[in-house]
Amino acid sequence: MLTGAFISAAIAMELPGPGTIYLGQTLQFRSPVTLGDTLTVALEITDKHSSRPWLTISTIVRNQNDKEVARGEATVMAPAKKETVTVIPPPAVQLLEDPDSASVDAN
């Protein structure tokens, strides 16, 4: 399902992009994904509703060896006009060996 999160991010940020409402997703998991793999998400709009802004998007995820690890279809409602979004970079994170030191450092 981490794979699914990458698809979700690609839809929300790229195609159709910000303002998209995610209605549904099907996914078949074809091959295992392991630590260190590099995944590429390919999106292709395959169908458009005749009157409503509903799109069907083919979603295929491949690993660094071009092996298909997952495929499926997304159903989305596309935004009616172009929208932009400001992405705030996530804060830096430090892993703490000793959980107790977290509260100490936070004070």
DSSP state of 91: P
Q: How far is the CB of 50 from a second copy (least distance, A)?
A: 21
Neighbours of 67 (CB within 10 A): 11
Q: Alpha-carbon distance 53 to 51, whole Å?
A: 7
Show the binding pattern over residues 2-41: x = contacts a second copy (CB under 8 A), - = does not.
x-xx-xx-------------xxxxxxxx------------
Q: How far is the CB of 91 from a second copy (least distance, A)?
A: 4
Residues contacting a second copy: total by CB under 8 A: 28
Backbone angles phi, psi at 9, to 5 degrees: -65, -40
Backbone angles phi, psi at 106, to 5 degrees: -75, -20
Instruction: Give contact residues for a second copy (rule: CB under 8 A).
Output: 1-2, 4-5, 7-8, 22-29, 72, 91-99, 101-102, 105-106
